[in-house]
Each structure stands twice: as C-alpha cells, then as structure tokens.
C-alpha cells in the first residue's frame, strides 16, 4: 500500500467526519419522525403541505402497500428457496463490486 499524502488524508478525514455527522442526523430524524407524522396528520398535510420557507415543504403522501394472495406468497417462498439452493450449490453467479465502507 502506498503512503497517503496530506491532501488524501484530509479528504478521508472529511469523509469520516461527514459520515459520523450523517449517522447522528439520521438517528435524530428517526427519533422525531413519528412526532412529525402526527403533526402533519393534525394539520391535514396530505392535502395542505406545510411550507418551511427556505427549507421546502413537508407533506404526507399515500404509499401503496400490497398484500398478496396465499398462492403468490407460496411462490415467493419457493423462489427464495431456489435462490438459496443456487447460492449454496454454486449455480448462481457471484460478483463483487467495490464500495466505500466506514465503521
């Protein structure tokens, strides 16, 4: 492995710092998401978005939630079993991609 230069070290440190901050922000957002949803329901934000001036708008949206028949659920289970079989027997092709990972 080659030696890192100061600019590279700075870039890696910045990435690490941002990643730590990002995790803290994501945790806080998860913590208050239920309260935000409650507020938006109270003010009927489905039809009336809440404008936060320079930040943008908060709104509720409807999301489709599908419930499948027993037959389709059984087929899905069979597919998962077939995929596991192919992975364990080497039939399925495996490839690797490089990605940045930060602990």
Domain contains 95: no
Domain contains 62: yes
Q: Are 46 and 60 in contact (CB under 8 A)?
A: yes
- Please state, in angstroms and rounded to a whole number, the distance separating the CA atoms of residues 31 and 24: 11
Domain contains 103: no
* Structural domain range at position 77: 6-89
- Please state, in angstroms and rounded to a whole number, the distance separating the CA atoms of residues 93 and 87: 8
SS3 call for 80:
helix
pTM of the entire structure?
Answer: 0.71
From first to last of its 103 residues, the chain has per-residue pLDDT tens of 689 999 999 999 999 999 999 999 999 999 999 999 999 999 999 889 999 999 999 999 999 999 999 999 999 999 999 999 999 999 999 999 999 988 8
């Amino acid at each position: 492995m080659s030696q890192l230069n100061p600019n590279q070290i700075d870039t890696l440190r910045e990435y690490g710092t941002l990643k730590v901050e990002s995790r803290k922000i994501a945790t806080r957002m998860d913590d208050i998401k239920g309260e935000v949803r409650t507020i938006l329901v109270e003010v009927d934000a489905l039809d009336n978005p809440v404008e936060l001036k320079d930040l943008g708008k908060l709104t509720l949206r409807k999301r489709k939630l599908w419930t499948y028949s027993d037959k389709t659920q059984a087929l899905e289970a069979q597919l998962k079993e077939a995929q596991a079989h192919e992975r364990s027997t080497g039939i399925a092709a495996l490839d690797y991609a490089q990605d940045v990972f930060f602990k």
